[in-house]
């Protein structure tokens, strides 16, 4: 240790002479955890993960628990070191939001026909940790019937049981350490929970803010008065009703945000077999020949670049390529690699490698808007504006939520369901953005499952959310406001994502086709009526002055619909663009996450969901990533991991090591200056030496 201390001191002096990279909060610990600051990576790895967001970092952590295998993560965004305060402080999701910054992809949809031709802004995290570093921190699970519907859509294929509720719940629990609220916080928010539904030893911390804005304490009683009962255990398989949601908050760390990087990477012990390369955009997968066993085309490498102007590099892959770029990134990579629909690839000027018409299809998103009220109650913004705030105030995030089913939204849910089913064939013919018969068959399958299993079930169809940050009402209104949001959870509208050119640095064409199915506007309209009713129900009503938006002029169904089409926008939950469905149903991956027609490429992120969930997608995606890691480990002769990421025993196994599991660095130009490269080279050597 003495020699190590002296060596680190020497390296520190060298850093002072040469200068550390100005864009990073550089420290030695990051080198041990695998984050590469100077571009030095090996020529080849066992596993290359494309995307350093939620799923990518979970997989990196879990797969590298076995020291016999080398793992590389390629992340298009930066490390997030320079944004630590904005990321770590929960309240800064509102007050110092990273949306619209370099940590955001800043996508936009094409103009939406049913939304007055508005293009909708689609933010996505472009930083280590992905959207878990920039989102609203909600940890809300789907209901059991939704997970079981996902499983059943696989038609009994091998591995399908992994996605049913009982197994998915275990995976979500595995990711989590639940910390109950203090007595004061539980009382202030009228918080109910059941610890047995949560995990107790996972990397991700889930809990509640250290401060509750007082009006939140009225939520569940108000919803009960409006006809939506309180749910005392929203995480155990029944997600309906009203409750105060858990958030990705770590009370043991000053109520800081707990996200994919802090939970799964920063917490790691030193690992010499893991590299995470930021500012590296994946441009395509490189393929060799066919697998001799008939499994499909073999990926031999991954091409990437720091920017459109930089030279492209290729890193070799010995075992698997894993796409974890999310609902936009993963299908885009497949398209640019020549995997997708023939006509889309031809139009973009990309050579066809494997014809897979379902890539980019089945896109679904939650659609939301709000009813705004003036209030006499303090809001988060009004408290922030005071000269001093209560202790832990900046840990507060919105968490009052409810899920309303069709029985709570409609006077006759059966008639609504019957109308949907009666128009199944015509909807498929007119709404599916593909002429391919398999894609149409997949639409019919998911559409039918949604209508028959979910629409009249207890699962939520509309999410209702209380925002007490202090949103602004209509133009000219300066009063203190709260809002009640309504968000469509199971859209029947299906959109698509296509690439527009062969340039991987050009944003894809995103068309969620919002409200293209007439059933969607009916539920959203009725959900907004419930949002209005909540503001008129005690005890919340006692602090409401008046409705600001849409206001008393909106009363009839037609008036509601005319108003909402000009207001609704994304709830930031795109999914389903690489759907897990049988290939004959236009699927992209099988239940073991393998891409059809490819021997060693998987997709593991929210793009593989075949249906939307009545939930925020972070929790279920952590569960998916945990399941994916065990599926991949099993394929290579390794046992499942335990909950802890720091337990070396959980990474042991009899898997066969590739030739040379240690990492030999290779200079990749375009990432750093010569001086900082030398510093990082010394530090890499030291970090590997101490393992």
- Cis bond leading into 153, ω under 30°? no
Query: Could you give phi then psi for residue 191, rounded to 5 degrees?
Result: -85, 130
C-alpha 66 chain-centroid distance: 26
Closest CA to 181 of 205, 210, 202, 201: 210
CB < 8 Å & 24+ apart, contacts of 452-456: 452/417, 452/421, 453/145, 453/149, 453/152, 454/145, 454/146, 454/149, 454/490, 454/611, 455/406, 455/413, 455/416, 455/417, 455/420, 455/490, 456/405, 456/406, 456/407, 456/413, 456/414, 456/417
Helix 557-564 vs helix 518-535: angle between axes, to the nearest 10 degrees? 100
Catalytic choice (362, 490, 573, 636): 573
Task: Tokens for 292, please give them.
Answer: 């001799």
For residue 233, the SS3 value is: coil
616 is catalytic: yes
What is residue 313's DSSP assignment? Answer: E
Angle, CA 132 vertex, CA 127 and CA 134 arms, to 5° = 65
- Which residues are paired to 355 by β-bridges? 340
Task: Tokens for 387, please give them.
Answer: 């000269």
- The terminus-to-terminus CA distance of the chain in angstroms comes to 12
Closest CA to 280 of 80, 76, 73, 506: 76
- Cis bond leading into 550, ω under 30°? yes
Q: Which value, to the nearest 10 degrees, does the dihedral of the CA atoms of residues 438, 497, 288, 342 take?
A: 50
Helix 617-635 vs helix 165-174: angle between axes, to the nearest 10 degrees? 100
> Distances in Å between the alpha carbon of 552 and those of 373, 445, 555?
12, 41, 7
Residue whose structure tokens are 């707990």: 258
Catalytic choice (336, 490, 517, 616): 616
Pairing mode, strands 496-498 and 481-488: unpaired
Gyration radius of the chain over CA positions: 25
Q: Is 127 annotated as a binding residue?
A: yes
> Distances in Å between the alpha carbon of 305 and those of 38, 44, 319, 620?
14, 16, 22, 31
198 is catalytic: no
Task: Tokens for 244, please give them.
Answer: 């105060």
How far is the C-alpha of 302 from the C-alpha of 115, rounded, in Å?
A: 39
How far is the C-alpha of 583 from the C-alpha of 632, rounded, in Å?
A: 21
The answer to whether 173 and 364 are in contact (CB under 8 A) is: no
Q: Is 282 annotated as a binding residue?
A: yes
* Signed CA dihedral, 664, 667, 670, 676: sign only: positive
How far is the C-alpha of 180 from the C-alpha of 170, rounded, in Å?
A: 19
How far is the C-alpha of 238 from the C-alpha of 373, rounded, in Å?
A: 30
* Catalytic site positions: 573, 616
Please give the annotated binding residues for FAD, written as ranges: 127, 282
């Amino acid at each position: 240790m003495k020699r190590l201390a002296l060596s680190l001191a020497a390296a520190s002096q060298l850093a002072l002479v040469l200068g550390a990279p100005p864009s990073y909060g550089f420290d030695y610990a990051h080198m041990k955890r695998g984050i590469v600051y100077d571009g030095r990576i090996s020529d080849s790895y066992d596993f290359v993960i494309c995307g350093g967001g939620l799923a990518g970092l979970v997989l990196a952590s879990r797969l590298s628990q076995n020291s016999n295998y080398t793992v590389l993560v390629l992340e298009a965004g930066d490390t997030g070191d320079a944004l630590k305060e904005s990321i770590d402080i929960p309240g800064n999701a509102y007050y110092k939001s990273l949306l619209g910054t370099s940590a955001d992809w800043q996508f936009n949809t094409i103009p939406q026909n049913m939304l007055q031709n508005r293009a909708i802004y689609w933010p996505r995290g472009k930083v280590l940790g992905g959207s878990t570093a920039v989102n609203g921190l909600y940890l809300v699970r789907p209901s059991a019937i939704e997970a079981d519907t996902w499983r059943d859509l696989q038609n009994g294929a091998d591995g399908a049981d992994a996605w049913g509720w009982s197994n998915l719940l275990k995976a979500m629990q595995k990711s989590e350490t639940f910390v109950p609220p203090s007595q004061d916080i539980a009382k202030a928010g009228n918080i109910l929970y059941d610890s047995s539904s949560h995990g107790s030893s996972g990397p991700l911390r889930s809990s509640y803010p250290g401060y509750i804005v007082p009006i939140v304490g009225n939520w569940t009683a108000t919803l009960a008065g409006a006809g939506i009962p309180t749910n005392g255990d929203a995480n155990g398989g029944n997600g309906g009703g009203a409750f105060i949601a858990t958030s990705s908050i770590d009370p043991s760390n000053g109520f800081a945000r707990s996200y994919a990087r802090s939970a799964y990477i920063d917490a790691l012990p030193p690992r010499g077999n893991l590299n995470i390369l930021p500012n590296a955009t994946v441009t395509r997968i490189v393929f060799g020949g066919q697998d001799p066993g008939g499994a499909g085309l073999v990926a031999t490498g991954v091409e990437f670049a720091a920017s459109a102007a930089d030279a492209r590099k290729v890193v070799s892959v010995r075992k698997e390529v894993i796409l974890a770029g999310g609902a936009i990134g993963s299908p885009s990579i497949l398209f640019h690699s020549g995997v997708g629909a023939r006509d889309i690839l031809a139009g973009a000027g990309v050579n066809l490698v494997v014809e897979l018409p379902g890539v980019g299809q089945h896109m679904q998103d939650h659609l939301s808007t709000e009813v705004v009220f003036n209030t006499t109650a303090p809001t988060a913004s009004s408290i922030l504006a005071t000269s001093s705030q209560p202790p832990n105030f900046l840990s507060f995030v919105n968490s009052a939520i409810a899920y309303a089913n069709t029985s709570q939204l409609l006077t006759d849910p059966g008639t609504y369901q019957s109308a949907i089913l009666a128009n199944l064939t015509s909807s498929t013919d007119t709404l599916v953005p593909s002429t391919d018969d398999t894609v149409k068959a997949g639409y019919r399958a998911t559409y039918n499952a949604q209508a028959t299993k979910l629409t009249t079930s207890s699962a939520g169809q509309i999410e209702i959310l209380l925002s007490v940050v202090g949103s602004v009402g209509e133009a000219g209104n300066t009063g203190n406001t709260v809002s009640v949001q309504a968000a469509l959870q199971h859209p029947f509208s299906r959109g698509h994502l296509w690439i527009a050119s062969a340039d991987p640095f050009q944003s894809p064409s995103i068309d969620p086709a919002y409200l293209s199915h007439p059933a969607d506007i009916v539920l959203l309209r009725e959900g907004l009526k419930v949002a209005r009713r909540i503001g008129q129900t005690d005890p919340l009503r006692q602090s409401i002055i008046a409705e600001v938006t849409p206001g008393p002029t909106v009363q009839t169904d037609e008036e509601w619909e005319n108003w909402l089409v000009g207001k609704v926008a994304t709830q930031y939950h795109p999914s389903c663009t690489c759907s897990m469905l049988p290939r004959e149903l236009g699927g992209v991956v099988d239940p073991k996450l393998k891409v059809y027609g490819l021997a060693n490429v998987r997709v593991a992120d929210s793009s593989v969901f075949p249906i939307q969930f009545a939930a925020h997608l972070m929790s279920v995606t952590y569960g998916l990533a945990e399941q994916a890691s065990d599926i991949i480990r099993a394929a290579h002769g390794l046992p499942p991991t335990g909950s802890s990421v720091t337990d070396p025993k959980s990474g042991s196994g009899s898997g066969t090591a590739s030739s040379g599991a240690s990492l030999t660095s290779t200079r990749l130009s375009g990432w750093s200056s010569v001086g900082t490269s030398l510093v990082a080279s010394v530090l890499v050597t030291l970090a590997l030496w101490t393992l």
